[in-house]
Structure 1
Amino acid sequence: MNKNLLVIIAVAGSVQIQAQKVLQLEDCRQMALAHNKSLQMVQESVKAAKQLKEAAFTQFLPNFSANGAYTRNEKNLSLLSEDANLPVYNMNANGTPNYANSWNNSWKQVAANTYAPMDAAGNVFDPKVNPEKIQWKNYALLPKSAMEFDVQNVFVGSIGFVQPIFMGGKIKELYNIAKYGENLAQAQQESKMTELLLEVDEAYWRVVSLENKVKLAKEYRNLIARVDSNVTDMINEGVATKAEALKVRVKLNEADITMTKAEDGLNLSRMALNQLCGIALDDVYTLADQDLAAETITRLIPIDQALNNRPEIKQLIQLENIAKSNEKIMVSRFLPNIVLSGNYLVTNPNSFDGYKNQFGGMYSIGVVANIPLFHFGDKVHTLNAAKSQHKIATLQLEETKEKMQLQIKQSSYKVAESLKKKTSTEHNVEQAEENLRYATEGFTEGVITSTDLLGAQTAWLSAKSEYIDANIDVKLTNLYLAKSLGTLASDYKTGSQNSANKK
């Protein structure tokens, strides 16, 4: 029995705590930022862009690589089809060839101190013109087997590097494009964050508005209920008619319908805010700003600073930078490419010291240059296309800046207009409350009919409703102004840092 009592008390306590949960606007923003999947995807895109920038930087550094290969050949290589005989010169003491002792040809004197060899037919010939007529005395045997090379098992391996020296600036611009891509991803993340904060704030203030509308609808329903009770008493006393009671009942039914619609709208709006914040859809809480007491003031900043704050402008600036770098890359295609290369090559068999079936290697280093000459205007056309894309990006940036300046002006005017409307509705509420008080007193004293009292109550309801709308409008117009100034995300970050420092 005691255990059951403790369980009931614990459950009741948890329900009370749940009902008393209070959410600040800052809490909703933090939960939405932590829960939103689209923002998480953009954050991953920022990480990917950073890695691509790091990868682009490596293109400045040498590229090392190693290669290896093995080949099995069916046959060996042979430079001779059969054994060969090489003629051999006899040499004089001074190292010159001794033609007479090397050849079997007969010699004939053709001029003073000049002799020429004769062929087998006894005709004089020139050895340089007809070397085949020379009859050699001695030959050296060159066997076919001596000119065979074992290449059935060939092993090749190499390790080397390539270091760019001058590539026309394309590596630098590719790195710049990767860097601009990272900045673009960060601007997209800020833009997504701004959109999410805007969506959360709109949902938050929508719930605040409907909470106040529900309270107002209940108050209005209670006012009519009291009139209905008073009219019923007056009918019993014979000083009122059933027609007046029917009018009051109709108004009471309308008040019930209005209250039901407000409650349904509140539930749906609360679910929408819950979904953004990543909490249970049926979770019930109290918003800290439901009394609309907190003032919202957006600090104005210079137009140039506001444009630089806007993530849309940041994105377009990065796109313009990318287009500019792409144009420079197209220019680099006209320039020579120079690289430094070095390698160490090892082979088996090798011919570095005779032909041997063992591993032997050597290193080599050199500079390679490639100079483009002509390709039927391909590079000119691509350069012109890149220039046009750069111009498009520049024009798009200028056009967006013009539109954003107009947006900032419009948002500023709407903030001023909402403040005037708020002040006006405050006076209307005061007058409506005063009119309702006089009407209530007059109805109680019997000098005002129920119709007049209902009219005063309806006017009071309208004034209070407009006052709530005006307060919410001030919140939203300041919100839209902060977005147009590009300070929505930065103000949130500053506020979060201040909260963390206080803790």
Structure 2
Amino acid sequence: MRFYILSILLLFAFYPSRGQQRLDLKRCREMALEYSKQMAIAGKQKEKAVWTKKEYGANYFPKLSASGFYLYHQKKQEYKLDGGYLPTYVPGANGSLQPNVVMGADGKPVVGTDGKPVFHEYAYLPDIPISLSLRGAYMASVQLQQPLFMGGKIRAAHQAAKFGEELADENIRLNRSEVLVELEQAYWQCVRVGELVTVARKYKSVVNELVKNLEDAQQAGMAPVNDVLKAQVKYNEALLQEQQAEHGHKLAQMNLCRLVGLDLNTALELTDSLSATVSPATLALPDELGQRPDYNMLEKQVEMKRKEVNVTRADFLPQVGVSAGYGYGGGIKLNGDDSRAGSFSAMASVEIPIFNWGEGRNKVRIAKAEEEMSRLNKEKLGEMMRLEIAGNRFKLTDAQTRVGLTESALKQAEENLKVSRDQYEVGMENLTNLLEAQAQWQQAWSDWVDAKASLKLSETEYLKAIGKLE
């Protein structure tokens, strides 16, 4: 038996325990932002927007390209130009060449049996063989292209990409505020439940002391058994409340660990406590919509839609460009001679759309309609955001009032418990009233803790609503 107990003690002595983490709100915010997958996605979206802007910006500059080909064709192409007798010409009186035809007595050319004029002399052209070989034909070229005017499409697309980058910045701010709201909700919930554990333990201690006093009095014959049983029932309820509070505290800690990237079973010690006040500077902050990242995102979307109208219109405007290139090729042999050579070329091109059955006009109208829809959506959501700001401000002031009322109720409950205890000790009040006073005191304390936690959360939500949760 001793060996068994010793083994258990040694096991616990050498079992690796999880170290307790001491954290404050600032450190938790940093850890949550660093660990958040949501922030990582927003960062990649910003990175994408930056590269997209650079991609469209590259269209301002010339594009250099190289191309080439190689061809091997096994069979030679054999051709023959048929020869024959060709007519001859002699210089005329005016120096120009005249057909060397035989003239008749009538002064007209003599015509042969085939109906053609008869010449004094004929030149003989033998057959000409032609051999074309493509065994190893090749060509390489370099070309430079520069757009001069594309209907404003390049500029409009680049400006739209700039707005896209700014939108990505606001998206990072929005995701940051959402991560911080979730983190602070979890943090203050953990602090709240921790204080409720203290309340439950204090209440259990008070009820336990009463049970012990009643048991001693009952043994001395000064208290009935019924009073002892009533107090024990309350003590059992206090035990259950303490257990529920401890379990709630553990779950709250696990949720906070999940957000900051710690192991769920890590024990936490939070250094911040619930405050009963809010800084006056919080309510004095400006509440313009321009501070909110989501509202700025709506404005950027409207600007992007406006640039998309220009991009669409540019497709149906004249487009001008120039290109220059140099090529070198060879390997094409004609009758055994290789025709390798290099050459320079330059070209200017102009494309002017003339008639497309209203396609361009209709596409521009569609783009303008989308721009107007985006603007109206911004106005609609802007009104909802104003309502959200007003609602959160009212909620914050209500939470301040609730803290004051619950604090006053707690003081009254403490005084009521003191009076009830004093009167019970001198026999002027029954046990039921004392137990009720204890329960009211415990409930008032819990309400005060809840009110302070609600105040912190209301402050966080108000700062997010006005775009100042940084």
Same fold per superposition (TM over 0.5): yes
Q: Measured at CA, do residues 86 and 182 of structure 1 come closer, stay the same or move farther in structure 2, by a change above 3 Å?
A: farther
In structure 2, what is the equivalent of residue 244 of structure 1? 227
User: What secondary structure sits across from 1:367 in the alignment?
Assistant: strand
Q: Measured at CA, do residues 121 and 34 of structure 1 come closer, stay the same or move farther in structure 2, by a change above 3 Å?
A: closer
User: What secondary structure sits across from 2:320 in the alignment?
Assistant: strand
In structure 2, what is the equivalent of residue 198 of structure 1? 181
- The letter of the residue matching 2:186 is A
In structure 1, what is the equivalent of residue 454 of structure 2? 473
The aligned runs of 1:264-413 (5 Å cut-off) are 264-290=247-273, 292=275, 295=278, 298-304=282-288, 307-348=289-330, 356-413=337-394
Offset of residue 134 of structure 1: 5.0
Contact 1:32/1:277 (CA < 8 Å) preserved in 2? yes
User: What secondary structure sits across from 1:375 in the alignment?
Assistant: coil
Q: Could you state the TM-score of these two structures normalised by the residue count of structure 2?
A: 0.90
Offset of residue 376 of structure 1: 2.7
- The letter of the residue matching 2:125 is L
- The letter of the residue matching 1:75 is K
Offset of residue 177 of structure 1: 2.6
User: What secondary structure sits across from 2:338 in the alignment?
Assistant: coil
User: What secondary structure sits across from 2:391 in the alignment?
Assistant: helix
Contact 1:336/1:369 (CA < 8 Å) preserved in 2? yes
Offset of residue 76 of structure 1: 3.1
How far does the alpha carbon of each residue in 1:351-395 deviate from its partner, in whole angstroms, 9 at most, with x for none?
A: 9xx995142111111211111222332222222211111111111
- Paired residues in the alignment total 455
Contact 2:143/2:324 (CA < 8 Å) preserved in 1? yes
The aligned runs of 1:88-107 (5 Å cut-off) are 88-92=88-92, 95-99=95-99, 102-103=100-101, 105-107=102-104
1:229 maps onto 2:212 in alignment: yes
Q: Distance in 1 between matches of 2:120 and 2:312?
A: 69
Offset of residue 92 of structure 1: 4.8
Q: Distance in 2 between matches of 1:140 and 1:179?
A: 77
Q: Distance in 1 between matches of 2:178 and 2:287?
A: 21
In structure 2, what is the equivalent of residue 255 of structure 1? 238
In structure 2, what is the equivalent of residue 3 of structure 1? none
1:462 maps onto 2:443 in alignment: yes
Q: Distance in 2 between matches of 1:139 and 1:462?
A: 130
In structure 1, what is the equivalent of residue 6 of structure 2? none
User: What secondary structure sits across from 2:121 in the alignment?
Assistant: coil
Q: Measured at CA, do residues 141 and 457 of structure 1 come closer, stay the same or move farther in structure 2, by a change above 3 Å?
A: same
The aligned runs of 1:35-184 (5 Å cut-off) are 35-73=35-73, 74-76=75-77, 78=79, 80-92=80-92, 95-99=95-99, 102-103=100-101, 105-107=102-104, 109=106, 115-120=107-112, 132-133=116-117, 135=119, 137-139=121-123, 141=125, 143-145=127-129, 148-184=131-167
User: What secondary structure sits across from 1:75 in the alignment?
Assistant: strand
Q: Distance in 2 between matches of 1:344 and 1:355?
A: 26
Q: Distance in 1 between matches of 2:356 and 2:84?
A: 52
- The letter of the residue matching 2:338 is N
Offset of residue 98 of structure 1: 4.1
Q: Measured at CA, do residues 443 and 197 of structure 1 come closer, stay the same or move farther in structure 2, by a change above 3 Å?
A: same
Q: Distance in 2 between matches of 1:403 and 1:47?
A: 31
How far does the alpha carbon of each residue in 1:287-311 deviate from its partner, in whole angstroms, 9 at most, with x for none?
A: 112354785552543343xx12212
Offset of residue 43 of structure 1: 1.1
Q: Distance in 2 between matches of 1:96 and 1:427?
A: 129
Offset of residue 150 of structure 1: 4.2
Q: Distance in 1 between matches of 2:19 and 2:331?
A: 84
Contact 1:340/1:368 (CA < 8 Å) preserved in 2? yes
**Structure 1: unaligned runs, 5 residues or longer:** 1-7, 110-114, 123-129, 490-503
In structure 1, what is the equivalent of residue 5 of structure 2? none
Contact 1:415/1:477 (CA < 8 Å) preserved in 2? yes
Q: Measured at CA, do residues 484 and 197 of structure 1 come closer, stay the same or move farther in structure 2, by a change above 3 Å?
A: same
Offset of residue 41 of structure 1: 2.2
Q: Distance in 2 between matches of 1:42 and 1:84?
A: 83
Q: Distance in 2 between matches of 1:233 and 1:428?
A: 33
Contact 1:327/1:383 (CA < 8 Å) preserved in 2? yes
Offset of residue 279 of structure 1: 0.7
Q: Distance in 2 between matches of 1:415 and 1:361?
A: 80
How far does the alpha carbon of each residue in 1:106-162 deviate from its partner, in whole angstroms, 9 at most, with x for none?
A: 2455xxxxx54231369xxxxxxx9x53536131526413x5554444222211111
Offset of residue 29 of structure 1: 0.8
Q: Distance in 1 between matches of 2:105 and 2:458?
A: 123
How far does the alpha carbon of each residue in 1:459-483 deviate from its partner, in whole angstroms, 9 at most, with x for none?
A: 1111111111111111011111000
Contact 2:86/2:124 (CA < 8 Å) preserved in 1? yes
User: What secondary structure sits across from 1:66 in the alignment?
Assistant: strand
Contact 1:349/1:355 (CA < 8 Å) preserved in 2? no
Moved more, 238-247 or 405-414: 238-247
How far does the alpha carbon of each residue in 1:77-128 deviate from its partner, in whole angstroms, 9 at most, with x for none?
A: 74x54225443322258641144xx22x22455xxxxx54231369xxxxxx
Contact 2:276/2:403 (CA < 8 Å) preserved in 1? no
In structure 1, what is the equivalent of residue 34 of structure 2? 34
Contact 1:350/1:360 (CA < 8 Å) preserved in 2? no
Contact 1:191/1:312 (CA < 8 Å) preserved in 2? yes
Contact 1:150/1:357 (CA < 8 Å) preserved in 2? no
In structure 2, what is the equivalent of residue 446 of structure 1? 427
Moved more, 294-303 or 376-385: 294-303
Contact 1:107/1:117 (CA < 8 Å) preserved in 2? yes
- The letter of the residue matching 2:242 is M
Offset of residue 339 of structure 1: 0.8
Q: Measured at CA, do residues 368 and 85 of structure 1 come closer, stay the same or move farther in structure 2, by a change above 3 Å?
A: farther
In structure 2, what is the equivalent of residue 434 of structure 1? 415
**Structure 2: unaligned runs, 5 residues or longer:** 1-9
User: What secondary structure sits across from 2:327 in the alignment?
Assistant: strand
Q: Measured at CA, do residues 173 and 134 of structure 1 come closer, stay the same or move farther in structure 2, by a change above 3 Å?
A: farther
Q: Measured at CA, do residues 201 and 30 of structure 1 come closer, stay the same or move farther in structure 2, by a change above 3 Å?
A: same
